[in-house]
Amino acid sequence: MTILDGKSLSSKIKENVKKDVENLQKNNITPGLAVVLVGSDPASSTYVNMKSRACKEAGIYSIVHEMPETISQENILEIIEMMNKNPNIDGILVQLPLPKQIDATAILEAIDPNKDVDGFHPYNVGRVVAGLDSFIPATPYGVMELLKEYNIDPKGKNVCVVGASDIVGKPMATLMLNANATVDICHIYTDNLKAHTLNADIVCVGVGKVNLITADMVKNDVVIVDIGVSRLENGKLVGDVDFENVKEKCSYITPSPGGVGPMTIAMLLKNTVKSARNRKC
């Protein structure tokens, strides 16, 4: 069993990003990332702080627009329009989830697709599906880079993606399909999840349910990518996989934390630099 070490790989990617930023700065371009944070959700605030810290370490200009929970949709749209027009901002992302009074789809669609470093705009979603160059959602992008680092080729493999969110599950399935895997997508309405996971050579799971995937649900030598994150009552962070028991059957497995999480931020930085490079062109 081999651990898919996302923490180590993310450090390598961040170092490369830092070098890319230094090269861009020789042409008087400093990549800029703007984040919209609405409300005071602790998890969102922590994640945004991690992004800001990573930007600073890589030399990327970063700004966070913090807004109260009660803010109107019109006010958020005004901020996004301002950032769309700002030539020094290469990436715009809106930290999800948003308060109930806000139409998240309308907010995401308002972002300039050329600055949509989260890859959530329908324009970029469509280009990913079509296999065209685009901004790829950071978490699935990170998973593919992690597999590549360990020479795990999805081509011809049976892949089961558990979770069908727009942010992770759907783009994850699309990237696997683009990599010539046979893809099975499971979700809350799937009957007999075990029947699907048992057939998979690679299982990618990200639903936020502790111990959803147990040892009896996977075959020997399976590759497990655990994208889920939950916090136990004792404060410990865990994934969706019963790691201690499932790892005995795996050829490769991601830890949680320390697997996919660090890759998400690394790929976000990489997308931001890509956007800045496009500005140079």
Contacts of residue 108, defined as CB under 8 A and 6 or more positions apart, other chains included, come to 94, 116, 120, 121
Q: What is the model's pLDDT at position 46?
A: 85
Query: So what's the pLDDT on residue 281?
Result: 57
User: What is the residue whose two structure tokens read 């930290």?
Assistant: 95
Tell me the residue type at 123: Y
Q: What is the pTM of this model?
A: 0.94
**Domains in the chain, ordered, with CATH?**
28-115 (3.40.50.10860), 138-261 (3.40.50.720)
Report, as residue numbers or ranges, the catalytic residues. 51, 95, 118
For residue 260, the model assigns a pLDDT of 95
| CA distances to 164, 172, 174, 186, 208 from 178, in Å | 17, 10, 6, 18, 26
Q: What is the rounded CA–CA span in Å between residue 141 and residue 197?
A: 22
What pLDDT score does 280 carry? 60
What's the pLDDT at 178?
98
For residue 10, the model assigns a pLDDT of 97
Rg (the chain; Cα; Å): 19
**pLDDT score at 29:** 94
- According to the model, what pLDDT value does residue 40 have? 81
CA dist 89 and 16 (Å) reads: 21
Low-confidence ranges of the chain (pLDDT < 50): none
